């Protein structure tokens, strides 16, 4: 029995050592990617912390990062603004927890997210973000199985790179996220001091917009997450509003029946006020940039003017 316990203990110790080795070998290099898109969370939170209480928080995914002129809102309403939107890949749970963390007494929060967005998001993206901004570890639940899979995959890719480097041959292409490609416009430096993404300003629309989905109806459990957010920020003395995302007319027409039912669910079950209507967020396809949720400069101007009018009507 004693030998069995000793062997079991040694086995568990070896697993722990292996896991730590995987973590060290695959984790530290992430911090060196200072211009990584997700590293912009550092700057967004720094601005929020510097402002303190009584501010406007624009929250959600990349749809709000791309689609708002926070400087204009601040100038016209006379309230400091920070745009904390980054990526829907983080999932509703992460984004809601982040917004709760940033909110303070007297804040006005405008939340917008893409239709039928997932609750869980991508674990790898959450960890990637937390490696840049450790406070983000509080926005999601640590998962040992996901960690082992993630670091094993990175170790494999790193070892392949070393082997192919030694034989002077290019390694097979690994699966990567476009956000982390050095050639991509998706970079930390593409954000301005308010947290708005402006790296695409002046660039032409891509040949084919991404995220042009045909939806099937199901009740969106994100409503429960938004209600949780509302209750938590109310405790802090902040006010939450929801606004539908910017979306092309043509895509809305293709999904009209489903999105009308989505809107009915929102109007019936969502606790925080909804600013405007779902149709008010529709724009001509020509003012979008690379996805059905990312606007070009002309669209940003229209969207921002509309949001200012809505916020003025609530004051």
**What is residue 178's predicted lDDT score, i.e. its pLDDT?**
46
Please, what are the domains in the chain? 28-140+185-314 (3.40.50.1110)
Q: Which of 92, 82, 64 is nearest to 197 (CA)?
A: 64
Which residues partner with 82 through β-bridges? 57
Measured between alpha carbons, how far is residue 296 from residues 242, 293, 303 in Å?
22, 10, 10
Model-level pTM?
0.84
CA of residue 270 relative to chain centroid, distance? 21
CA separation for the pair 300, 200 (Å, rounded): 11
Backbone angles phi, psi at 202, to 5 degrees: 90, -5
**What is residue 257's predicted lDDT score, i.e. its pLDDT?**
98
pLDDT tens-digit profile, the chain (315 residues): 666 556 665 666 554 454 444 444 445 444 458 999 999 999 999 999 999 989 999 999 999 999 999 999 999 999 999 999 999 999 999 999 999 999 999 999 999 999 999 999 999 999 999 999 999 999 999 888 888 777 666 665 555 555 555 565 555 544 444 444 445 899 999 999 999 999 999 999 999 999 999 999 999 999 999 999 999 999 999 999 999 999 999 999 999 999 999 999 999 999 999 999 999 999 999 999 999 999 999 999 999 999 999 999 998
Query: Quick one: tokens of 171?
Result: 């390694």
Q: Which of 227, 235, 278, 225 is nearest to 256 (CA)?
A: 278
Residue 255 buriedness (CB in 10 A; 0-12 / 13-18 / 19+): buried
Number of neighbouring beta carbons within 10 Å of residue 158: 15
Cβ distance 271 to 230 under 8 Å? yes
CA separation for the pair 233, 256 (Å, rounded): 32
**What is residue 146's predicted lDDT score, i.e. its pLDDT?**
84
CA separation for the pair 141, 133 (Å, rounded): 15
CA separation for the pair 81, 239 (Å, rounded): 14
CA separation for the pair 201, 17 (Å, rounded): 48
């Amino acid at each position: 029995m004693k030998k069995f316990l000793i062997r079991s203990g040694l086995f568990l110790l070896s697993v722990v050592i292996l896991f730590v080795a995987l973590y060290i070998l695959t984790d530290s290099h992430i911090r060196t990617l200072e211009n990584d898109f997700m590293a912009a969370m550092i700057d967004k939170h720094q601005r929020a912390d510097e402002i303190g209480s009584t501010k406007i928080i624009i929250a959600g995914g990349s749809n709000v990062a791309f689609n708002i002129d926070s400087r204009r809102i601040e100038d016209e309403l006379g309230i400091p603004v920070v745009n904390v939107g980054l990526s829907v890949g983080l999932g509703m749970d992460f984004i809601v927890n982040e917004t709760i963390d940033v909110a303070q007494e007297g804040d006005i929060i405008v939340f917008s997210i893409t239709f039928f967005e997932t609750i869980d998001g991508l674990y790898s993206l959450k960890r990637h973000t937390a490696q840049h901004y450790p406070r983000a570890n509080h926005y999601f639940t640590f998962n040992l199985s996901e960690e082992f899979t993630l670091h094993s995959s990175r170790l494999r890719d790193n070892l392949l790179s070393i082997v192919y480097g030694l034989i002077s041959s290019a390694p097979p292409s690994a699966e990567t996220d476009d956000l982390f490609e050095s050639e991509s416009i998706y970079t930390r430096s593409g954000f301005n001091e308010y947290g708005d993404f402006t790296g695409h300003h002046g660039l032409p629309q891509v040949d084919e917009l991404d995220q042009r989905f045909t939806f099937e109806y199901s009740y969106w459990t994100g409503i429960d997450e938004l209600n949780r957010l509302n209750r938590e920020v109310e405790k802090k003395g902040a006010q939450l509003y929801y606004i539908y995302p910017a979306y092309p007319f043509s895509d809305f027409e293709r999904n009209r029946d489903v999105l009308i039912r989505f809107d009915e669910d929102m109007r019936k079950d969502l606790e925080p006020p909804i600013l405007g209507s779902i149709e008010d967020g529709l724009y001509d396809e020509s003012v979008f940039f690379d996805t059905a949720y990312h606007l070009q400069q002309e669209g940003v101007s229209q969207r921002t003017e509309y949001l200012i009018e809505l916020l003025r009507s609530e004051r």
